[in-house]
Amino acid sequence: MKPYTKIILGIFILLMTFNWSCQNAPKEKKNKPVDFLNESKEDFDKRMKWWREARFGMFIHWGIYAVPAGIHNGFETKSVGEWIQLFAKIPISEYEEYAKKFNPIKYDAEEWVKLMKKAGMKYVVITSKHHDGFALWDSKVSEYDVVDFAPYGKDILKSLAAACKAQGIKFGLYHSIMDWHHPQAQANSEPEYDYQNHPNTEFPQFVENYLKPQIKELVDNYDPDILWFDGEWINDFTHEMGLDIYQFVRTLKPSLIINNRVDKGRKGMAGMNRDDQKYAGDFGTPEQEILEGTSTMDWESCMTMNDTWGFKSLDLNWKSDKILIQNLVDITAKGGNYLLNVGPTAEGLIPAASVERLEKMGKWLEVNGEAIYATQKLEKVFKQGEGIRFTKKKNKPDYYVITFKQPHKELVIHHIQPDEKSSIQLLGYDKPLKWTFDLKKSLIIQIPESIPGEIAWTFKIKGKEI
Residues that bind ligand FHN (CB under 6 A): 61, 80, 82-83, 230, 287, 302, 309
Which residues, in sequence order, are CB contacts of 9 under 8 Å at separation 6+? Answer: 1
Smallest gap from Cβ 60 to ligand FHN, in A, equals 11
| Residue 309 vs 459, nearer CB to ligand FHN | 309
Smallest gap from Cβ 83 to ligand FHN, in A, equals 6
CB 302 within 8 A of CB 341: yes
- Could you tell me which of 310, 319, 402 has the C-alpha nearest to residue 356? 319
| Residue 145 vs 287, nearer CB to ligand FHN | 287
Smallest gap from Cβ 178 to ligand FHN, in A, equals 8
| Residue 345 vs 425, nearer CB to ligand FHN | 345
Smallest gap from Cβ 380 to ligand FHN, in A, equals 32
Smallest gap from Cβ 172 to ligand FHN, in A, equals 12
| Residue 258 vs 371, nearer CB to ligand FHN | 258
Which residues, in sequence order, are CB contacts of 159 under 8 Å at separation 6+? Answer: 107, 109
| Residue 174 vs 248, nearer CB to ligand FHN | 174
Smallest gap from Cβ 341 to ligand FHN, in A, equals 7
- Could you tell me which of 132, 211, 123 has the C-alpha nearest to residue 173? 123
Helices (H), 24-150: 27-30, 41-54, 84-87, 92-99, 109-119
| Residue 331 vs 413, nearer CB to ligand FHN | 331
Angstrom distances, CA of residue 250 to CA of 161, 226, 246, 254, 336: 19, 11, 6, 4, 23
Smallest gap from Cβ 267 to ligand FHN, in A, equals 12
Say which DSSP state 283 is in. Answer: B
- 330 membership: H or E segment, kind and range: helix 321-333
| Residue 342 vs 411, nearer CB to ligand FHN | 342
Smallest gap from Cβ 140 to ligand FHN, in A, equals 25
Neighbours of 41 (CB within 10 A): 7
Distance of CA 307 to the CA centre of its chain: 19
| Residue 230 vs 315, nearer CB to ligand FHN | 230
Say which DSSP state 156 is in. Answer: H
Which residues, in sequence order, are CB contacts of 396 under 8 Å at separation 6+? Answer: none
Provide the residue type at 280 as one letter. A
Smallest gap from Cβ 193 to ligand FHN, in A, equals 16
Neighbours of 455 (CB within 10 A): 19
Biggest CA–CA distance in the chain, Å, is 100
| Residue 126 vs 302, nearer CB to ligand FHN | 302
Smallest gap from Cβ 150 to ligand FHN, in A, equals 20
Angstrom distances, CA of residue 143 to CA of 138, 149, 175, 466: 8, 6, 17, 61
Burial class (CB in 10 A: 0-12, 13-18, 19+), 118: middle
| Residue 286 vs 335, nearer CB to ligand FHN | 286
Neighbours of 200 (CB within 10 A): 17
CB 208 within 8 A of CB 240: no
